[in-house]
Structure 1
Amino acid sequence: MNRNNPKLMITVFSILVGILIASQMKLNVQLLTPVTVKSIMDTRKEIDAVRNEISELEKIVAQREAELTTLESINTGEVNIIDILKKDVMENRNRAGYTAMEGPGLEIIMYDNIGGGIGLNFNDYIIHDVDIMNIINDLRVAGAEAISINDQRIIASSEVKCGGPIIRVNGKSIGTPFVINAIGDPQLLMAAVNAPGTYGDNLTKIYGIGLQPYVKDKVEVAAYKGSFKFNYAKPMEEGE
């Protein structure tokens, strides 16, 4: 074969140029992904997640700015640190349930189905601890800020359990009628225990349990009167 054959040289050169042009065109081609309902929903979820993260970061920034303002006020002598500590103690007592509260909300009166019902045995027409707990959980989900049962404040460590014909709450025995007071948005609380399909609605319609909710402009919730301490749990050290 003649290495100086011009036709061969042109052919090889043309092939090389063609390969280079094809590679360049491939790099510049924009890949188009078909838009589907799932891809739109996934994108929306990602956007919502980012927005929620931004919102949480903004809250943290606002909290740190408030703390910085407080520290600057203490440093300049405009604010007494003792007053700040007293305010923190009061806020923590309120959150822990050691302070009596009042506000708009719901009063719920619950009582056993005294007359019984067709096809029901004795345990079906009396109120059990699980009934009280489900009503309390529904109220919490609806945004109740403070709850009590027969003047017994419900806190994180409160126990509600059956004890024969009575129910024990915070170690105290209480009997029917059970009066549950809850502070929060009255309409949301009412829907949580009275709307069709809720646990409270099923109690009344299926088992004939008495459940009478009343919207009130002023509901009083008693303070927690017991004491609570950690026997096993302890705060984690920073860095653990």
Structure 2
Amino acid sequence: IGILIAMNVNLGGKTKFLDVEQYQKAYDSRTKLQNEISNLEDQYVEINDKINKYERSSISEDEVRKEMIGEINKNKLALGLLPVVGNGVKITLNDAPEAAILGQDVPLYMLIHDSDLTMVVNDLRAAGAEAIAINGYRIIGSTAGLCAGATVEIDGIKIIAPFYITAIGNQDVIKSFLENQQNHLKSLKVRSCYVDIESVYDEKLPAYNGELKSEYLRLK
């Protein structure tokens, strides 16, 4: 029997009841949204300050050029187009140990699939990871995965288990989220898949070297 928590939401004055897991997910989503709003507000102030600086000062072309290069590098950093280094965590995922013994008779739930990697990456992002790589391949927002037999394709590059997912970010926050909150790693453990989490220091992640595609996107 789960514990129900009453949560007041602005839906016609009604009270919605959530179990502990639903409440935790709702709370995490709310916190993430508040952080995103706060970051957007900070960016708005920063951009306005720069506009005022350009309009009111008589800075030289060299200074403007340096500012522009700085902005370009900042955007590249956000897009994952620059190599980075920092502390974080490393997750090792592998098929269940019994998989090799069972051979072709192994149940699919004992194997690591592309969807598993996607969900773990999403959990890491929710925990505040700033940069992520799988088996040395940088992951960005448009990265696509595909399961093909015993291999997983990431943007057309084939990789096989074990999968090493490295994330740069606040170690304590990320490890606490992965070890204490409801997330996909716990589901993998229930499926008998191999899961290991360790802290890493001064870990180097490469830049994304794939193609940035935008078939339908255009500037307004």
Q: TM-score range by the shorter chain?
A: 0.7 to 0.9
Residue deviations 1:95-143 (CA, integer Å, cap 9, x gap): 111111111110111111121499x952111101111111101000011
The answer to whether 1:194 aligns with 2:179 is yes
Residue 225 (structure 1) aligns with: 209
Q: How does 1:1-240 map to 2 (within 5 A)?
A: 60-73=44-57, 75-77=58-60, 80-116=63-99, 121-195=106-180, 197-204=182-189, 206-236=190-220
Give the direction of change, closer, same or farther, for the CA distance of 1:82–1:58 in structure 2 (3 Å limit). Answer: closer
Residue deviations 1:44-68 (CA, integer Å, cap 9, x gap): xxxxxxxxx9997676345412432
Which secondary structure does the structure 2 equivalent of 1:216 belong to?
strand
CA distance in 2, matches of 1:95, 1:170: 19
Which secondary structure does the structure 2 equivalent of 1:98 belong to?
coil
Identity in percent: 25
Larger of the two Rg values belongs to structure: 1
Matching residue's letter, 2:209: K
CA distance in 2, matches of 1:100, 1:54: 26
CA distance in 2, matches of 1:171, 1:223: 17
CA distance in 2, matches of 1:56, 1:87: 19
CA distance in 1, matches of 2:215, 2:121: 26
How many matched pairs?
Answer: 184
CA distance in 2, matches of 1:65, 1:233: 29
Which secondary structure does the structure 1 equivalent of 2:178 belong to?
helix
TM-score w.r.t. structure 2 length?
0.73
TM-score w.r.t. structure 1 length?
0.68
